[in-house]
Every structure is written in structure tokens, then in C-alpha cells.
Amino acid sequence: MPFAYTKLPGLDERRLTAVIEPVLAAHHVAGVELIWRPDRGGMVLEITVERPDSRVPGEGITLDLCADISRDLSTALDVDDLIAGRYRLEVGSPGLERTLYSLADFERFRGQGVKVKLKGPFEGAGPLFGQRVVRGTIFGTGEDSVELMVGSSTVQISWANISLARLVFDWDEGRGQKVSRGKPQGKNQGGAGKTAAKKTGSK
């Protein structure tokens, strides 16, 4: 299953994903984001994963699982020698406030809270007219649009007018839920409920 979002400046995306995706499939997870970025300590290959059929962001993505995936990915990447120089590999979940990259994402997380940033002002009738940020609950999807429940009304937003969409976790409702906060072999990498394992690679 291809990644929903990739940003790999200077790397061969086709060859890299050809190595990574079978490893993720072997662990029964799907890739969400694959990002090559600089960090204070050098370069980082950041991979976020999730259970493909889960409607709860991050469900089942434990720190131990991330460590196992990281270990297997490190071996596979070393064998294929796709990344020159030292780098750090980070594997984690996209967090409770996961970015939505497609209409399929909206459909999958139907009924959950969402914050949508628009490319242009909302043109529908009502109190949202002219706004560029809309908060509501995912109600459904159309062929090229999403429907949100905002208050007691439903609003339709063209997919082409969406700049960024992210799930919104209700911390009041979620208070008392167990969110993984890390173990000695790793730590959180930021974001609501995000877990990650890190491994340093070298060439």
C-alpha cells in the first residue's frame, strides 16, 4: 500500500518505497508519511505507520512494534545501500490528530472531529460564509467533496478547496484513556498520542 504523503528531496523515492513497503506489510501496517528531513543531529528518515483498517488513529502502534519495524527497516536499507552517510531512522504513528490526505481518509474517520483549512473563503450560506477554517464532525463524502456537521447543520466543502485537514482529538472526552507515552527504549516524537522508536544508521 503506497504512502499517503512523501517528501524525499535528493532520494530515489521509487527504490526507497520498494524496499520499505514490503517490510511494513510483513508487520501488518500501512505507511502514512515518509519524510526525509534535516535535524539538529543530522538527517532523519521519518516514517509514520498505522493499522490499515483501524478507525482509531494510532491504535495498535506500540513502541515495541515501532522498534521491531525500525530494526527490520534498518537492515533492509543497509542491504540496498540507498542512503549515503549517517542518518537517523524514526518510526512512529501519525498521532491522534492525524492529517487527512484523501477523501478515503475522511470516509474512514467518519464521525470524528476535524479541523479543515481552506484555500479560499467558504462560499456557502450561513455563519461560515467567508471563513477559511472550519471545525466540525465528519458526516460523509461525495465524489469530490466532504460533508461536515457544524453545530446542527451540515456543510459541503469542495475537495479542491481544502488546503489541510486534521483530526481533532477531544481531550475532555479522552481524559482517562490510555495513551502510550513511551518506554525506556524510545520516546515520543511530539504530537497527540504519537509513539516512535529511533535508530541511527551509518554508511
In this predicted structure, what is the pLDDT of residue 172?
Answer: 63
Per the structure, the complete domain to which residue 190 belongs is given by 5-96+180-201
pLDDT per residue, tens digit, the chain (203 aa), is: 789 999 999 999 999 999 999 999 999 999 999 999 999 879 999 999 999 989 998 999 999 999 999 999 999 999 988 898 899 999 999 999 999 999 999 999 999 999 999 999 988 767 788 899 999 999 999 999 999 999 889 999 999 999 999 999 876 655 444 443 332 223 233 333 455 555 555 44
Question: Which strand (E) or helix (H) includes residue 173?
Answer: helix 171-174
The CA distance from 43 to 27, in Å, is 25
Whether residue 44 is found in the same domain as residue 88: yes
DSSP-H helix ranges across the chain: 13-26, 63-80, 103-108, 171-174
Q: What is the three-class DSSP state of 103?
A: helix
Q: Domain total for the chain? A: 2
Are 125 and 153 found together in one domain? yes
- Return the half-sphere exposure (C-beta side, CA atoms, 13 A cut-off) of residue 101: 10
Q: Do 107 and 47 fall within a single domain?
A: no
